[in-house]
Structure 1
Amino acid sequence: MPRIEVAKRFDWDTFVRRYWNKRPVLYKGTSASPFEVADVFDAAAGATRSYLKQSYSTDSRSNLQFTIDREQQLFLKPWLPHESDGSLESYEARILGRLGSRKYALIIASLYSSGFSLWSKERAFFSELWRRVGVPLSGAITTLFHGNYEHSPVGVHLDRFTTFLFALKGRKRMRFWPKKPWSEPVSTILDYAPYLKESFVAEVEPGDILYWPSSYYHVGESAGEEVATSVNVGIPRTEHHTVYYVDDLLRGTIDEPSLSEQEWRNTRLATVSASPLARGVLTRRGPLSPELPRALLEAVDAFRDVSRRRETLRHIQVTWLKRLTAGGFEPVPPPARRGRLADEDRICVDPRFPILFEQVDARHWICSGNGHALLGAGSAKAVARLFEMLNSGHEVRVGELLRPFRSRAERARGAGSVKVSTRDDMRAVLERLQGFRALTRLGRGSLL
């Protein structure tokens, strides 16, 4: 029977050479994990806030699940972590107080999208892996598992993701099978007792990092009565075709990619109004009508409208820059409230994660930071120099950055057909980037 390989020192070069997409490994007691309990609670409470703003219709999608003794709960509000809980420990105490001896599981997908601190640390950690194996085009997934459940609600299963498990609280057991242990034509099983002999286990404790490739069947189990908390990061490896990305490109052609459902309804691709039921296409004698139904004609026209070469190329540039600065974790957390920047303010950018800049054409340019993007109009030469200064990592005064740009009055008196960005335009860009947290305001006064 195979056994889990155990290591104590986490090193990306060794990991990629020995374990990446090859076999599981358990790193015991390492301090390498990017996840902290406080950040996890902050992100979980943020996910609850987002959930409570959503529709309660039965067909609405949610990143949150809560089970009690394996039964999925339809009304989640009473069971979710709220900001008023104050901490993950207090949330746990509240839930245990209500459930008594019953078991529960809280699962939150896309955890990073609700907490900037968690997202930024996770991006920094995995950026070292991306440098060695490549950035996942569709992004990795991050899921919180919290509770005292007996085993994973879905049972034994196979993912299309190669997975890292970061243990934060309590003890947890992961059970693995190198090959599918059953012969029935089903993808998952809940009762896997007959197949225990072919399995091997890894028991994780706080501080441990467990990795397994996507080829291993697995199930998470309780390692006692205590509540356990872990964060799983999955990186797509199998059954994830490049064609899936086309939807991303089309949905955001009018506005920005990764649109919410509400934003999607406002795009031209969503304005096809013809009924999906095509009347009159079959005659009494059986032959099909040679004319395409109205719904298909409208869809083709809408697609042709949004796929004009100039719009498409510009949108693809925006999409790619956002994906790069998201660092493999999308959707990114929402921007913070936009603040004012005075000439005396000192700002800087983390050189590990620069603001990306690209010229679209003679009249337009794009900049992107932390998974957000801005499209600007005007000559790009001075703008490129501004981002070059920012991305150096050195502190710089806002007034110094804006000195090369004209005031609006000066631009109004200028000649030429190419629009030039003004100081006010670029100050607004810097303020937006501060809201994206792509640059940091350090204070006011002269530089040291």
Structure 2
Amino acid sequence: MIAPAPASPGAPSLALPRSFWKDFTRKHWDREPVLFQGLFGGQGPSLQDIFEALVEATERTLKGELPPHRGIRFFIEHEDGPNGLPYYSILFAPSQAHLPSREDRDAHAYVERITRVLGGKRFGLVLNRTQTQHWRHWQQLHGFLASVHESSSMPLRSSDSAVFFGNYRYTPFGIHKDDLHIFYFVVEGTKRLSLWPFEALSQREELPRDPGLRQRNGIITLRDKADEERVLAQATVLEGRAGDLMYWPVSHWHRAEPTQGLSVSASLGLAVTPPEFISMAPPGEWPESVRPNEMPAGKGWRMPAALRTALRRQSRRQEMTALERERTTEWVRFLTGGTLEGAAPVAREAPLQPQEWIRATARRPIVSVPLPGGGLLVSANGHAQALAPAPTAHRRLEQLLETLNGGKPQQVEQLEQAFFHRMTGRGFSRNALRLLLDELVRWRGVERCEPPSSRRR
């Protein structure tokens, strides 16, 4: 077993050593599916974390806070159809009766309840952007991606975690392929997947003759049981258990196959297309990769030079400083979020008090970036806020973030005193500073901690 890189207490990480990624890139990346058994030694995503993420997403979905494609999809498996193949229905507006709740206590209690509600029918839950619903899951995937980025040049592509939860026999949407490279974490039970290289099924009559389909979404429509058997005869099968990791390239078709009992997995998809917020840019507008030493860091970090050049070029062409400010903000959020789609879930905490202590982590630094046209952008964990400090306060803000990024406990009152000490011309109010520190807590850029003396007792 290859042990993940060590993480700070309370900060789980799925980071893997550079030697692993070097070997993986040479043998498997964009080439073939692979199964790694017991890779994380029990440190991978847990069933309880996934259940908590589903409950959070349920509550937000029922409140209308999540768009349809980011909320929970609920599938019910019915009897086999006349062609011998199972079929599914999806509840587009599922009620609380169908979704996990805090009253269910845990995943297994929820499965017992929903099985009674459905009269024994099999079911499946799918949740996209799971990392935005659970802080520990976000930390784990951020650490996993960080080890990818540190080991090789990082494609400027977004990443997203999706959860598949249920006792369904087959993937509800059948044999398909995504526009993503997939890392697949088996969380609970057994997961059996059939996989096919693109060429094995690309000539089927229901598929478009699209030369770009290899890197796009596609779906296979099986005609009957005999057709299914012919297709399955060509498949490679991977079977993973809790704690295992699978990978398959963007080019591969896949479908989950029947297993016993509850099966839960979390996929991390790495897109092959540019981030959505730059989809309108002309081809070749943006650089293809960022070097490891260009990723967000603490003191003195600047946007990568190739990105700054592209931003200036686009703003000159559009003659819009506002566009460059907007794109700069999106890029900084994207990079401080470790390329994960969506920012880390916010912390629901009370405002800081002067006597409290806080600290940041150097592994996920808070960064500041000057904005075109003036102002300063502060960002952490995919969140960002534009500030408009006077010149006298601009450098003080950068020094404040450097102090926090040192990783040592800092008292709120002392930070405030140091910030305003001998400041000529109040270009930034005390209230604005308190609000910024509270935002950093909400973004999980800093966390409350004990004072240094109490931790030594």
Which bracket does the TM-score occupy, shorter chain normalised? 0.7 to 0.9
> How many angstroms apart in 1 are the aligned matches of 2:348 and 2:364?
21
Corresponding residue of 2:82: none
* Structure 2 residue 200 is the aligned partner of structure 1 residue 180: yes
* Structure 2 residue 263 is the aligned partner of structure 1 residue 228: yes
| 1:47 positional shift | 0.8
> How many angstroms apart in 2 are the aligned matches of 1:354 and 1:61?
30
Task: Say whether the 8 Å CA contact 1:34–1:125 is kept in structure 2.
Answer: no
Structure 2 regions of 5+ residues with no counterpart?
A: 4-15, 78-87, 208-218, 282-314
| 1:133 positional shift | 4.1
Q: Which has the larger radius of gyration?
A: 1
Query: Counterpart amino acid of 2:59?
Result: R
| 1:94 positional shift | 1.0
What is the CA deviation profile of residues 19-57 of structure 1, one whole-angstrom value per residue up to 9, with x for unaligned ones? 12121110112226631111111111111111101289x
| 1:115 positional shift | 1.5
Task: Say whether the 8 Å CA contact 1:154–1:188 is kept in structure 2.
Answer: no
* Structure 2 residue 431 is the aligned partner of structure 1 residue 424: yes
Task: Say whether the 8 Å CA contact 1:67–1:106 is kept in structure 2.
Answer: yes
> How many angstroms apart in 2 are the aligned matches of 1:163 and 1:172?
15
| 1:446 positional shift | 5.6
Corresponding residue of 1:349: 360
Corresponding residue of 2:90: 72
Query: Counterpart amino acid of 1:229?
Result: V
Seen in structure 2, the aligned counterparts of structure 1 residues 235 and 361 have a Cα distance that, compared at 3 Å, is: closer
Seen in structure 2, the aligned counterparts of structure 1 residues 25 and 102 have a Cα distance that, compared at 3 Å, is: same
Task: Say whether the 8 Å CA contact 1:138–1:245 is kept in structure 2.
Answer: no
Residues 379-388 or 190-199, more deviating? 190-199
Query: Counterpart amino acid of 1:116?
Result: W
> How many angstroms apart in 2 are the aligned matches of 1:110 and 1:386?
32
Corresponding residue of 1:327: 338
Size of the aligned set, in residue pairs, is 373
> How many angstroms apart in 2 are the aligned matches of 1:114 and 1:326?
14
Match of 1:25 among 29, 34, 56: 34
> How many angstroms apart in 2 are the aligned matches of 1:398 and 1:52?
37
> How many angstroms apart in 2 are the aligned matches of 1:220 and 1:334?
30
Query: Counterpart amino acid of 2:204?
Result: S
Corresponding residue of 2:182: 163
> How many angstroms apart in 1 are the aligned matches of 2:191 and 2:279?
38
Corresponding residue of 1:366: 377
SS in 2 for 1:382: helix
What is the CA deviation profile of residues 224-256 of structure 1, one whole-angstrom value per residue up to 9, with x for unaligned ones? 3x121111111112xx256862469xxxxxxxx
SS in 1 for 2:164: strand
* Structure 2 residue 130 is the aligned partner of structure 1 residue 111: yes
Matches within 5 A, 1:40-439: 40-54=50-64, 61=69, 63-69=71-77, 70-77=88-95, 78-135=97-154, 137-178=156-197, 179-181=199-201, 183-186=204-207, 187-190=219-222, 191=224, 192-224=228-260, 226-237=261-272, 240-241=273-274, 245-246=278-279, 309-360=320-371, 364-378=375-389, 379=391, 380-406=394-420, 420-439=427-446
Corresponding residue of 1:265: none
What is the CA deviation profile of residues 306-331 of structure 1, one whole-angstrom value per residue up to 9, with x for unaligned ones? x6633222222221111111112222
Seen in structure 2, the aligned counterparts of structure 1 residues 314 and 62 have a Cα distance that, compared at 3 Å, is: closer
Seen in structure 2, the aligned counterparts of structure 1 residues 55 and 356 have a Cα distance that, compared at 3 Å, is: closer
> How many angstroms apart in 2 are the aligned matches of 1:85 and 1:44?
12
Identity of aligned residues (%): 26
Task: Say whether the 8 Å CA contact 1:348–1:393 is kept in structure 2.
Answer: yes
Seen in structure 2, the aligned counterparts of structure 1 residues 246 and 338 have a Cα distance that, compared at 3 Å, is: farther
Task: Say whether the 8 Å CA contact 1:34–1:122 is kept in structure 2.
Answer: no
SS in 2 for 1:121: helix
Corresponding residue of 2:213: none
SS in 2 for 1:198: coil
What's the RMSD between the two structures over aligned residues? 2.8
| 1:185 positional shift | 3.0
Task: Say whether the 8 Å CA contact 1:162–1:212 is kept in structure 2.
Answer: yes
> How many angstroms apart in 1 are the aligned matches of 2:354 and 2:92?
52
Query: Counterpart amino acid of 2:57?
Result: A
Query: Counterpart amino acid of 1:433?
Result: L
Structure having greater relative contact order (Cα 8 Å, sep ≥ 6):
2
TM normalised by structure 1 equals 0.76
What is the CA deviation profile of residues 289-319 of structure 1, one whole-angstrom value per residue up to 9, with x for unaligned ones? xxxxxxxxxxxxxxx9xx6633222222221
Residues 435-444 or 331-340, more deviating? 331-340
Residues 375-384 or 207-216, more deviating? 375-384
Seen in structure 2, the aligned counterparts of structure 1 residues 432 and 244 have a Cα distance that, compared at 3 Å, is: closer
> How many angstroms apart in 1 are the aligned matches of 2:136 and 2:358?
19
SS in 2 for 1:315: helix
SS in 2 for 1:102: coil
Query: Counterpart amino acid of 1:63?
Result: G
Structure 1 regions of 5+ residues with no counterpart?
A: 1-6, 249-303
